[in-house]
Structure 1
């Protein structure tokens, strides 16, 4: 078993096809096909069953990949130890982060990080929020910057900030003057039921922000009249600015987004709603100093 064997098998399993796996590995599809054929002959057992263009792991292939992921984690641990020994002069840091977070955190954090650790290569893995956590579990990322999920998290994590979730309302909406001062928030509060006839622009249920919206609706016993789903925060806010509907946004995003016809932002009547922004990493991992530095920079920025 070679490292390349593990990486190639993992890529095919993750991508589901040889073509997409080859693209992710930056090699040609015929080269990958030939490699897998020679690898299986060398190993003495089939790793994949090919069904049309789809590749599925055999039972031995599943065991091979499980053992391979453990080997990749051992390699990661060794690199961490070596980084300590070498005083963190050379290394690589893979950061899994949702698109929106990356758009404003990376420009603020990476130049400062590079000044401190010029020889640490940072690889940004910008993904939708639903797969950010997976990148840690399958060994593709060192840390993930994400919202705390509803489910139990089988990772170690640190809370960076508790962010208030706010209602974004079109500036021309007739109810915007019904906000009330809220001593528990920097934003005026408003009754969610004032918008019972409005369209809501929400993230999908498999996204953390979509789950937060559903939890808020349940707590307020509220059912939206109409719903439009999008996976993109900026799309939701831009639609709100046109008057198309109501959306949700956290306070950190508000500080970094550029608005034309800016929406009005409101806290929720009663108690404000919060979501924890966290940095997560593999359970039990001893973080090298350069990762700790990046986490500290993240705290400073938000």
Structure 2
């Protein structure tokens, strides 16, 4: 079913901003603006009230969106069922993953997936955990790679791998002398209070690594001397290697980190320092064979990365 009209209006209503809506729809901003204006002329009434860059639904727009969402939901279920009826060798898999994870996790997985299921259309969406979770709940995605803490009762999930949430410290930094090492353990251990007063490099507030870091800071009473915010974890680790400050980082990222200078990695002496990365999908819905295959490929790749077999 081609429901472009309904998708365009509902997306603009959700975003409230022409630029964000155009980005989500993968069309240009002028094209979306012209489409909405022409639709309003055809209907003979405005669907949106323009206030600067904000698009706010009129009363007519609210009723339109109410029914359009119902139509889109029916269309999504129809498309899914038709795809399933064809065969598990053909269909569509809409998958979501964060920008950071996608770069090191997916290349080999997608190559193997396309070789095994060449007739399956794979639609990949990258974004932060909050956005991906919302898209799964709206049935705009079939499978997302998320952290265990992002799961809710609408989802079923399979574990892909487990990882530590580590502290990265420059070589030669005084903090290295405070680490305690135990035989047979891969990382030295730092007490959380040792992190107070340090210069921290941190990801942005909308990234999952930052959310976990902030929770640990609050629970453990950690107060950094300075917080430098950078979106790229790759750049953060490079700056740590250069001695600018320290950071908290997911273990999987450190497995693929390559730079001329190394960083030292430590575990914090706190409960819950280990986390599970999951493949989540809709609860109580049939999982096609090719989606099972994707989960297995993700599990295999996760095990390779965590064991150092890059």
TM class, shorter-chain normalised? 0.7 to 0.9
Report which stretch shifted further, 24-33 or 107-116. Answer: 24-33
Question: Quick one: structure 1 residues 260 and 89, their matched pair in 2 at CA, closer, same or farther if it must change by over 3 Å?
Answer: same
Report which stretch shifted further, 292-301 or 174-183. Answer: 174-183
Which residue of structure 2 lines up, in the alignment, with residue 84 of structure 1? 84
8 A Cα contact 1:69 1:138, kept in partner: no
8 A Cα contact 1:18 1:29, kept in partner: yes
Contiguous gaps of at least 5 residues in structure 1? none
Deviations 1:42-91 (A, max 9, x none): 55654322234432122443343344334333333333322332223432
Question: Quick one: structure 1 residues 66 and 111, their matched pair in 2 at CA, closer, same or farther if it must change by over 3 Å?
Answer: farther
Matches within 5 A, 1:260-275: 260-269=260-269, 271=271, 273-275=273-275
Report which stretch shifted further, 19-28 or 261-270. Answer: 19-28
CA apart distance, 1:130: 3.9
Tell me, what secondary structure is at the counterpart of 1:175?
Answer: helix
8 A Cα contact 1:80 1:287, kept in partner: no
TM-score w.r.t. the length of structure 1 is 0.86
Which residue of structure 2 lines up, in the alignment, with residue 72 of structure 1? 72
8 A Cα contact 2:195 2:223, kept in partner: no
Report which stretch shifted further, 27-36 or 267-276. Answer: 27-36
CA apart distance, 1:284: 3.6
Report which stretch shifted further, 233-242 or 44-53. Answer: 44-53
Question: Quick one: structure 1 residues 179 and 29, their matched pair in 2 at CA, closer, same or farther if it must change by over 3 Å?
Answer: closer
Question: Quick one: structure 1 residues 47 and 120, their matched pair in 2 at CA, closer, same or farther if it must change by over 3 Å?
Answer: same
Cα distance between partner residues in 1 of 2:122 and 2:31: 28
Question: Quick one: structure 1 residues 105 and 28, their matched pair in 2 at CA, closer, same or farther if it must change by over 3 Å?
Answer: closer
Which residue of structure 1 lines up, in the alignment, with residue 239 of structure 2? 239
8 A Cα contact 2:147 2:278, kept in partner: yes
Question: Quick one: structure 1 residues 65 and 286, their matched pair in 2 at CA, closer, same or farther if it must change by over 3 Å?
Answer: farther
Cα distance between partner residues in 2 of 1:89 and 1:24: 29
Which residue of structure 2 lines up, in the alignment, with residue 254 of structure 1? 254
Deviations 1:224-260 (A, max 9, x none): 2221222322222122111111111122222122232
Which residue of structure 1 lines up, in the alignment, with residue 170 of structure 2? 170
Tell me, what secondary structure is at the counterpart of 1:285?
Answer: coil
8 A Cα contact 1:179 1:266, kept in partner: yes
Which residue of structure 2 lines up, in the alignment, with residue 201 of structure 1? 201
Deviations 1:90-149 (A, max 9, x none): 322222211110001111210111111112122221223442222223443222212234
TM-score w.r.t. the length of structure 2 is 0.84
Whether 1:277 and 2:277 are equivalent positions in the alignment is yes
Which residue of structure 2 lines up, in the alignment, with residue 220 of structure 1? 220
Which residue of structure 2 lines up, in the alignment, with residue 155 of structure 1? 155
Which residue of structure 1 lines up, in the alignment, with residue 35 of structure 2? 35
CA apart distance, 1:210: 1.6
CA apart distance, 1:271: 4.4
Question: Quick one: structure 1 residues 81 and 180, their matched pair in 2 at CA, closer, same or farther if it must change by over 3 Å?
Answer: same
Cα distance between partner residues in 1 of 2:270 and 2:8: 52
